[in-house]
Amino acid sequence: MGKRWQRGRLPFLESDVESFRPEPCLYDGRAWSFRLAPIPIFPSTVHSSQGGTALEQQYKDEIFTKRVRAGKRTYFFDVKSTKSEKDFYITITESKRVGEEEYEKHKIFLYKEDFQKFLDALDETVEHIQKQLLPGVAEPAPPAEAEKP
């Protein structure tokens, strides 16, 4: 095994590193301090701490995903398994493009014991908006069932 570096949560093996790049690590109010961070050759060769490659691990814990595009924003609703793979949780991610290739992301982690409380609060909030703030706007009609001959 080669020497290991830590970048975020994924350790890199020395053999997986093509070169190094300066990465900001500390701001003292006047200037940034930089450290050399490894650049992996291929993301799929980055080894996770739980065995296997990072790419394999990424898809292993995702159970379900739903994407909702809304103008400049995209929302992701993901069901993921916990590290023990005995439980699950939901992440709600808002992704907004900032510039050409950068995205600003905000996440909410929602655990199964809070699902009903979250849904109740969301329903109450939407209902308040529909009745109090948009009283003249009709509620959308429920989807029509397919007609049976």
Quick check: is 78 in a domain?
yes
Quick check: is 87 in a domain?
yes
SS (H, E, C) 44-69: HHCECCCCCEHHHHHHHCEEEEEEEE
**Do 14 and 73 have their domain in common?**
no
Quick check: is 55 in a domain?
no
| Token pair recorded at residue 77 | 């609703």
pLDDT tens per residue, range 96-141:
988 887 889 999 999 999 999 999 999 999 999 989 888 776 555 5
**Do 41 and 71 have their domain in common?**
no
pLDDT tens per residue, range 54-80:
544 554 578 899 999 998 899 999 999
For 18, the domain range is 4-45
Length of the chain: 149
